[in-house]
Structure 1
Amino acid sequence: MMNIGVIGLGAVGLFIASSLAKRHEVTGYVRREEQANEIKDQGIIVDNSETFVSVTTSQKFKEHDLIIICTKQMAIDTLIPTLELVGRHTPILFLQNGQGHIEKIHHLPHPILLGVCEHGIVKIKDNEVSLKGLGKIRLGALHKHHAELAVDISLALYQLDFPVKEHGSITDVLNRKLIVNSVINPLTAIFNCRNGSIMTNDHLKYLAKKLTKEAAMTLNVDEDEAWERVRQVAEQTKENYSSMLSDIQAKRQTEIDFINGYILKKSSDFLPYQTNVYHMVKAKEGLRE
C-alpha cells in the first residue's frame, strides 16, 4: 500500500483519488473549503458508488510515497514553489492536457513522471463524477534514469478497473494525446457541440482533418495514424462535452495556450487552421465577462 497525495480534485483528480483509495492511503488537496467539506461529509461519488478519502485545503504537502498533480495547466506556476519543498526523492506524476508544463518542471530534483488520462470523466458536482468511458493511465519517466521507477509505480497503481501502463517513450504518447486535444477541444468549444459532432458534421470533419495534419506535421507523428486516433476518441466519447467547452460555458480560462498555443510555438511554419482556432477560443475567453 502506498501513501499518495492527489493535488487538484477536478474530474480527473476525483476519479483517481476514489480509484486509488480502494488499495492505497490517499489524501486529496483542494483550494476551496466548500469542496473539502462536501468530500468530508459525503465522500467522492463515482456513478453512485462512494469512497471516503482524507482531504485538506493545506498549501503544504505531507510526506507521501507519490504525489499526483491533477490540476489544470494554469495552476502549475503557483504549485512549483510548494513542490520545491517536497522531499527530493518523492516521485511526482503530472497528468495535464498539453505539454506547456514540461519545460517548467525540468529543474525539479524529484523523479518526475509524465502521464495522460484516457478515461472519459464528467464532473457532476464538487464531489461527484461519472465515468463515460474506461481508458488507461499511461505514464513514463521524464528522465531515462527514472524509467525503472516508472515501471514500479505503474505496477503498484494498476487495478483491473484502473489500468495503468508504463511507456518507455512517454513523449510519443503525449504527442498523440496533444494532437487529439488540439482538434476536439477547440472545435467543440467554438461550435458548442458534443465530441461526436466532429465526425457527423462534414464541415467540422474537414476542419478536424486540417488541424490534425498541421499538428501531426509539427510533432513528427504519422498523419494517418494521428487522424485514426482523433476519429477513435471522437467516436468513443461522442456523447461527451470537451473540457474546453465546459470551461467556456463556465466562463473559466481554457487550456488553449498549452494545447494549440504550444503547437504554434513549436512550429517554424505558419499553421493557418491551428492559428485560427487558437484566436477563436481566445476571443471566446475574452467575451466571458
Structure 2
Amino acid sequence: MNITVIGQGAIGLLWYHRLAQNLNNHVSLLCSARITSVPQATKFTDIDDNTSSKALIPANNQILRHAELILCCVKSYHVVEAIASLKNRIDVNAIVIYCHNGMVDFNQLPDLSQACYTLLTTHGSKIIQPFHVQHTGLGHNDLGLIYGSIQQKKQAQVVKALATALPSLTLSHHIKEKQWLKLAINCVINPLTAIDNIENGQLLQQKYSIIIDKLLAEIISVANKEDIIFSFEDLKNQVLDVAEKTAKNCSSMRSDILKKRKTEIDYINGYIANTAKKIGISVPEHEKLIQQVRALEVK
C-alpha cells in the first residue's frame, strides 16, 4: 500500500517505522515546512530497546499523487494547515486518517472529497532526538469513519495495514463516543500534570481527588448535551486506571511545557469550554486550568 505519514513527531515517526517494516507498503514522510534539513535516515528504538535505522523517504508531489493512504499525525493546531497543504496534490480516492490529541472542529478543515477517519491510539512513544523515536508502551488503536464513504474491500485493506503495523486495532462504528472518552481522560491528566509538573501516577494522590471530580462533572454535563452519556463512577475509574497504567509517563502537555512548546490546551479543555459556551453551560474548573496552562506557555 502507498502510504504517506504527515508529521515527524513521536506518533508520526512511530507509524512511519512500523508501517515501513511491512515490505508490501511503500511509506513516505511529509515533514513540517519548518524543518529546513531532512536527514537521509531515521532511527527507531523498539519496545525491547533495540535500535535500528531506516532510510527516510521524503514525500514529494509525485509520491503524494499516488498515495492511497494519508496518515496525518500532527499537533491539533497544525491539522488545518497540514490538510490545506494537500489540496490538489492527492488523488480523490486517497483515504485521510487523522491521529492527534484533543478535538478539532472538522467544519474548519479545507473541503476534501476523500473518505476521512479518525485514529485514536494509546501506544506510547517519545522523541529521543530529532528523527529518532522510541516506542515506549504497547497500546490499542481505535479507527472510525468520520466523513465520506468507502468500499468495504478498501476499508479492510486499510485496517489490515494499520493493525499489522501496530496491533491491536478495532474498527469502531461509535468512534464519537471513544473520542469523547479520550478527550475526558486528556482533560484531567494533561493539564494537571503540566501545571504541577508531575508524572501521571501522582494524580492518584488523594489531594487531586476533588479537582478530578469537579472536572469530570463538568465534562459529563457538556457531553450529555452532545448525546454522549457517561457514568461518573465509570469515567473516574477509567481516568484513574490510565493514570495508574501510565504512572511513570510524562503527559504530552507537560512535555510541551518542559520543552517550551505551544500546548494543545485549546483543543482539549478548550474544546470543553467552547462547547459549553455554545450550549450555555458553565465550566469554571476547565476555564481555570486553561488560564493556568496558557500562563506557563512560552509567549
- Looking at structure 1, the residues matched to 17 and 211 of structure 2 have their Cα atoms a distance apart, in angstroms, of 37
Change beyond 3 A, Cα 1:144–1:151:
farther
The residue matched to 2:94 in structure 1 has which SS?
coil
* Contact 1:113-1:150 within 8 A present in 2 as well: no
Aligned to 1:64: 67
- Give 2:211's aligned residue: 207
Q: Given the two structures, how large is their TM-score scaled by the length of structure 1?
A: 0.90
What does 1:134-173 correspond to in 2, within 5 Å? 134-143=138-147, 145-146=149-150, 148=152, 149-159=154-164, 162-173=167-178
- Equivalence for 1:252: 261
Aligned partner of 1:99 in structure 2 is 103
* Partner residue, 1:49: 51
Measure how far apart 1:76 and its partner are: 1.6
How has the CA–CA distance of structure 1 residues 144 and 27 changed in structure 2, closer, same or farther, with 3 Å as cutoff? closer
Q: 1:104 to 1:51 in 2, by over 3 A?
A: farther
Structure 2 unaligned runs (5+)? none
Per-residue CA deviations over 1:56-112 (Å, capped at 9, x if unaligned) read: 275883421100000101112222322222222100000011112423237321100
Q: Hey, what's the Cα distance between the residues in 1 that align with 2:158 and 2:285?
A: 39
Aligned length, in residue pairs: 282
Residue 284 in 1 paired to residue 291 in 2?
Answer: no
Compute the displacement of 1:161 (Å).
5.1
- Distance change >3 Å, CA 174–CA 52, structure 1 → 2: same
TM-score w.r.t. the length of structure 2 is 0.87
- 1:231 pairs with 240, 248, 252, which one? 240
- Structure 1 unaligned residues grouped into runs of 5+: none
**Pairing partner for 1:117 from 109, 121, 128:** 121
Q: Secondary structure at the match of 2:85?
A: helix
Q: What residue in structure 2 maps to residue 242 of structure 1?
A: 251
**Please, what is the CA RMSD of the aligned residues?**
2.2
Please state if 1:269 is matched with 2:251.
Answer: no
CA contact (8 A) 1:138 1:164 kept: yes
2:37 matched to 1:28? no
Sequence identity (%):
29
> How far apart in 1 are the matches of 2:53 and 2:121?
20
